[in-house]
Structure formats: C-alpha cells, structure tokens
C-alpha cells in the first residue's frame, strides 16, 4: 500500500486527531470485535461533521484518483462509511457513483450493488478505513463479480498491518491511503496527544496486534 503524499498524511493525521476521529488510549485500550486489544480507535465518519476537514479529505481522495487511476469511469463506495466521501468525490470528478453493501439486500431486487451496474466499466473503490482488508477486498470482488473492472482502491486511513498489504497484493489491487498509522504516530507526539514513553508500545501494536497488551 502507498500513501498519496507525506505532507498530506501529516495534515490528515493532524485533522483527524484534532476532531477526535482518531483516539489514542494506550493505557485503556479499546476491544475490537475480533477480541484484539487496540490503543487506537478510528472513526472517520466524524470528519463529515466538520466541513473544512470533510472537504480537505475529499479533495485529496479526488487527487489520488486523478494521479493513480486517471482512467476511472466510476466511483464505488463501500457501505457504510465509504458512501458519503465516495459520493462527494464522484460529484467533483463528474463520474457515476455506486455503492457496495456488506450483504445483499434482503428484499426487493436483493441488490448487492446499489446504482447502475455497467459491465466493463472501470471503477475505483473508496474506503474510509482499512484494517486487515477483508471487508474492503470483499467489496472489490463483489464489483468484479458484477462485471466491473476494479482499477484500485483509495482510503482515508489504514492501520498499516502487514497482513493487509499481503491481502491486497494477493488480490492484485493497488491501495492508496491518505494517511496510515506509522505516519500518524509522530504527529501525535508532536501535538502532545502522546509522549515518547508510550510511542514504543504504540509502534509494537501494529507489528503484533493479536498479542499486544498495554505495558
């Protein structure tokens, strides 16, 4: 996986920390559905409530598509958090927009993909957050199964797990992130959200999240 630009990564980290979309609690870690203990909680949906942050993120996601996937013919958001930014991006890029459900709708047309499905159309997938990549890559596969050509994926933030990189490589899908965990940590120190003492513990979490525990 790549980040768009180190300066953009720093700006995104600063803003997400400032609005508490990223919260760091190494001494009182969060518990994920998987049972993993995590010193970080990231909820990028909060950015939608801050017009300046929302627009900055949208502009950089648009830039990511224009730079890495200039032949995009449509934008696809991953439900639910990838939908609003994806729709904003599609509007700026003047491209069609669809979104991918986590599971097929249980009534009516029972759609997995909402919007006009055009087989052969080149699409870029939008995610707000990438952890292991499982749900993101499932959405990409659902688009492929429907006949789309998936050019790649853009995301606001990634935890930067090696497992995610392996999963994306295996799937043959390029992932471009505005920011990731490694780029965020020094910004958190610089802005006094954490101190140097806990930095090592936070860095070790990304390497072994399943076995990490607060020191």
End-to-end CA distance of the chain: 29
Find out whether 127 is annotated in a ligand binding site: yes
Residue 63, annotated as binding a ligand: no
Q: How would you label 42-77 residue by residue, b for 16+ Cβ within 10 Å and e otherwise? A: bebebbbeeeebbebbbebbbbbbeebbeebbbbbb
d(CA 14, CA 51): 15
Q: Is 93 annotated as a binding residue?
A: no
Query: Which pairs count as long-range contacts for 22-28, CB under 8 Å and 24+ apart, including other chains?
Result: 22/157, 22/184, 22/188, 24/188, 24/193, 24/194, 24/202, 26/194, 26/198, 26/201, 26/202, 26/214, 27/198, 27/214, 28/214
* 120 among annotated binding-site residues: no
Please tell me whether 132 is known to bind a ligand: yes
Residue 133, annotated ligand binder? yes
The tokens for 142 are: 């659902």
Determine if residue 52 is labeled as part of a ligand binding site.
no
Do the annotations mark residue 134 as ligand-binding? yes
Looking only at the bridges linking them, the beta strands covering 30-31 and 22-24 are unpaired
- Consult the annotation and say whether 8 binds a ligand: no
Report yes or no: 10 and 178 within 8 Å, Cβ to Cβ.
Answer: no
- 130 annotated binding-site participant: yes
Residue positions forming the annotated binding site for 5-phospho-alpha-D-ribose 1-diphosphate: 101, 105, 107, 127-135
Residue positions forming the annotated binding site: 101, 105, 107, 127-135
Residue positions forming the annotated binding site for orotate: 131
């Amino acid at each position: 996986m790549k980040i768009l630009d180190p300066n953009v990564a720093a700006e995104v980290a600063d803003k997400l920390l400032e609005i508490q979309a990223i919260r760091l609690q190494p001494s009182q870690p969060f518990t994920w559905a998987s049972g993993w203990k995590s010193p970080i909680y990231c909820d990028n949906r909060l950015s939608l409530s801050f017009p300046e942050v929302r627009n900055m993120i949208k502009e950089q996601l648009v830039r990511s598509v224009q730079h890495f996937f200039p032949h995009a013919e449509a934008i696809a958001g991953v439900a639910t958090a990838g939908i609003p930014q994806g729709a904003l991006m599609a509007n700026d890029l003047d491209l069609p927009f669809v979104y991918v459900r986590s599971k097929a709708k249980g009534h009516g047309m029972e759609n997995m993909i909402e919007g006009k499905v055009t087989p052969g159309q080149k699409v870029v997938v939008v995610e707000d957050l990438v952890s292991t990549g499982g749900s993101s890559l499932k959405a990409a596969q659902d688009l492929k199964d429907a006949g789309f050509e998936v050019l790649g994926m853009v995301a606001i933030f990634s935890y930067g797990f090696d497992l995610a990189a392996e999963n994306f490589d295996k799937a043959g899908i390029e992932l471009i992130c505005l920011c990731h965990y490694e780029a965020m940590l020094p910004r958190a120190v610089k802005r006094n959200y954490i101190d140097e003492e806990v930095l090592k513990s936070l860095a070790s979490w990304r390497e072994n999240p399943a076995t990490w525990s607060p020191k």
